[in-house]
Structure 1
Amino acid sequence: MDVVTIGETMVLFTPESSPMLRYSHSFSRKFGGAETNVAIGLTRLGHRAGWISRIGNDEFGKALISFVRGEGIDVSQVKIDKTAPTGLYFKEVRSGDQVKVQYYRKGSAASMLSPEDLDERYIAKAKYLHITGITPALSESCYQSILKAVSFAKNNGVQVVFDPNLRKKLWSEEEARKVLIELSGLADILLPGVDEGSFMFGENNPIKLGEKFLQLGPELVIIKVGAKGAYYFTDEGYGLVPGFPLKTVIDPVGAGDGFAAGIISGLLDGVPIEKVVERGNGMGALATQVPGDFEGLADRNELESFMNRSTREDIDR
């Protein structure tokens, strides 16, 4: 196993007759969750990924696990909850820069995840454990599960990749700030956005943020700065890897997950750090070009073609 990830994936409904929920009478049904988005991105790039979670013993849960399995992700550690339902959410894409999300996940099966659901031997088989700041926001037992998963990873030499993935709707700002800083300090590889860094430290300068994050303990920090690309920071130094210019953004949801998948893929392949970040930028950019949370995640050929084409266009200009 290359990567194990842990968290909630939900059923996603998107309005079809109107971008606004209040006027829509028909909806498309898809699936979405940061952790499985990353796992899907990794499997499309040729890596092996496993997912730890809970789903409801309902028709949505059955459809969800069939879908995730169909994307080549190992679901042997997904528990079926006989009492709690599979979570739902609705997404309004009014424009490429205006997206609204409404969750119906309180009391969901995934929010019942507990440390007892984790198998240390399973996590120990992976090279990387991928976690986000969403899961600990769902419940106290989810928070404890993340801490236990991190403990298992560290006990077995598995590197921890943490994407803060701030969701202010899920918890208080005080609690979010405290836990995100705590988990950042436990991570080996940290993938915040500059906005998340500003939330955590009250600082907007990515260089100063990189220094603050490194002081917490990670060996590699990569800070996303939108269309400009991303900065990487290590004890040896830092650099900016430019992003790929896009004419339009169709759906920005899932771009950060694509970025994370690209970063982890580059690390697994052992490419130089600039190429690692470039792969993350490419996956993130492509994710915005297709409606849906995961549909735009590219396979290796598509990604390489996009990055080569974009590089040639930059040279021509």
Structure 2
Amino acid sequence: MLDVVTLGESMVVFWPEEGPLGAARTFVRSVAGAESNVAIGLARLGYRSGWIGRLGDDAFGRFVLRTIRGEGVDVSRVRLDAAAPTGVMFRESVLGRDPRVYYYRRGSAGSRLGPEDVDPEYVGSARLLHVTGITPALSPSCREAVEAAVEAARQRGVTVALDPNLRLKLWGAGEAAAALRPLIGRAGLVLAGLEEGELLSGRRGEEEVAGWFLEAGAGLVVLKLGARGAMATDGTRTWRSPGFPAQVVDTVGAGDAFAAGFYAAWLAGRDVETCLRYGNAAGALVVQVVGDTEGLPYREELAAFLGEGDVPTR
């Protein structure tokens, strides 16, 4: 039995060891993917996570598979696709700003994920299904895969968690809002950034944006507020938790780290304010390290950062 199942595209990511992308001669190679980031984050915190996906049956695909498996994530439902390549991403740091990201994913194996890749019983073996708005933006078959996973979870009493993870390089805010609204209505948890929430809803401010998600049918709405921390509301009560001081080196992956920290506390039955605190702490640790997964904390590291004796896993 798993604690969390997620699905989506994972890629190889490269960033220059020094200098701008166009002048770089040497690169660091790693793994990137919003959903597998969360799975790795939870595995490091002592939870049983599984990732569903497609990778190219190539050197990069095998590297990604080995890396995610090596983090303790169950990859038994990952398919190596000989007919399509593994996606590639390049990142370029820009002083004082979020990194520039360049995707080479058109026709990738990840974009060929489909409902046939989703094992309903596998999804049903988990306590939580985590999905994002990235996967349904990749292709019609990917959208069908997410819908199949959400339906399998709902039929088996598994809580659905959605991170909209809006990517304007993949689709516009209006198209994303129309596609994600049905998923929001079936989600027990929605974890969104305030800015992307404003783009999706066409509203401004925390209360108005949270209200849009609640009107769409979400159970608990969590808004990530950057350095200010996070807030959550179920329409009746509102909770807030301040952010932690951090020397920001790389903001990529902060939202995925927040999700892993939040879910870790949620799965342990902690109150909403504690869930927010765990999410904020994990996010603060990640932004101080370059890379999507490199800064994801292990259980003892998160406990030490929070000043706690241990991070509960059950």
Task: Compute the TM-score of the two structures, normalised by the length of structure 1.
Answer: 0.94
Q: Which runs of 5+ in 2 are unaligned?
A: 309-314
Task: Give CA deviations for 1:167-190 in whole Å, capped at 9, x if unaligned.
Answer: 110123332221132322221100
Give the match for residue 134 of structure 2.
134
For residues 46 and 219 of structure 1, the distance between their equivalents in structure 2, rounded to whole angstroms, comes to: 26
* Matched AA of 2:185: G
Please list, as runs of the form range in 1=range in 2, the aligned pairs for 1:23-172 lying within 5 A after superposition: 23-172=23-172
* Matched AA of 1:185: G
Kindly indicate whether the alpha-carbon contact (under 8 Å) linking 2:239 and 2:272 is maintained by their aligned counterparts in 1.
no
For residues 38 and 166 of structure 2, the distance between their equivalents in structure 1, rounded to whole angstroms, comes to: 16
Kindly indicate whether the alpha-carbon contact (under 8 Å) linking 1:232 and 1:239 is maintained by their aligned counterparts in 2.
yes
Kindly indicate whether the alpha-carbon contact (under 8 Å) linking 2:185 and 2:218 is maintained by their aligned counterparts in 1.
yes
Give the match for residue 312 of structure 2.
none
Task: Give CA deviations for 1:37-70 in whole Å, capped at 9, x if unaligned.
Answer: 1011101110000000000010111111011100
Cα shift at 1:212: 2.0
Task: Compute the TM-score of the two structures, normalised by the length of structure 2.
Answer: 0.95
For the pair 1:175 / 2:175, whether they are aligned, the reply is yes
Kindly indicate whether the alpha-carbon contact (under 8 Å) linking 1:96 and 1:249 is maintained by their aligned counterparts in 2.
no
For the pair 1:275 / 2:274, whether they are aligned, the reply is yes
Q: Which runs of 5+ in 1 are unaligned?
A: 310-317
Instruction: Find the residue that maps to 2:126 and give its secondary structure.
Output: coil
Give the match for residue 221 of structure 2.
221
Give the match for residue 311 of structure 2.
none
Instruction: Find the residue that maps to 1:195 and give its secondary structure.
Output: helix
Give the match for residue 315 of structure 1.
none
Kindly indicate whether the alpha-carbon contact (under 8 Å) linking 2:51 and 2:75 is maintained by their aligned counterparts in 1.
yes
Give the match for residue 13 of structure 2.
12
Q: Which has the higher helix share?
A: 1
* Matched AA of 1:66: R
Task: Give CA deviations for 1:272-308 in whole Å, capped at 9, x if unaligned.
Answer: 1110110000001111011101111101211121122
For residues 96 and 44 of structure 1, the distance between their equivalents in structure 2, rounded to whole angstroms, comes to: 29
What is the aligned-residue RMSD (CA, Å)?
1.2
Distance 1:205 1:304, change over 3 A: same
Task: Give CA deviations for 1:9-40 in whole Å, capped at 9, x if unaligned.
Answer: 1000101131x211112111111111111011
For residues 101 and 23 of structure 1, the distance between their equivalents in structure 2, rounded to whole angstroms, comes to: 16
For the pair 1:252 / 2:234, whether they are aligned, the reply is no
Aligned residues: 307
Identify the range of structure 1 (275-284 vs 181-190) with the bigger mean alpha-carbon deviation: 181-190
Kindly indicate whether the alpha-carbon contact (under 8 Å) linking 1:96 and 1:251 is maintained by their aligned counterparts in 2.
no
Cα shift at 1:96: 4.9
Instruction: Find the residue that maps to 1:211 and give its secondary structure.
Output: helix
* Matched AA of 1:302: E
Give the match for residue 231 of structure 1.
231
Kindly indicate whether the alpha-carbon contact (under 8 Å) linking 1:95 and 1:250 is maintained by their aligned counterparts in 2.
no
For the pair 1:187 / 2:187, whether they are aligned, the reply is yes
% identity of equivalent residues = 48
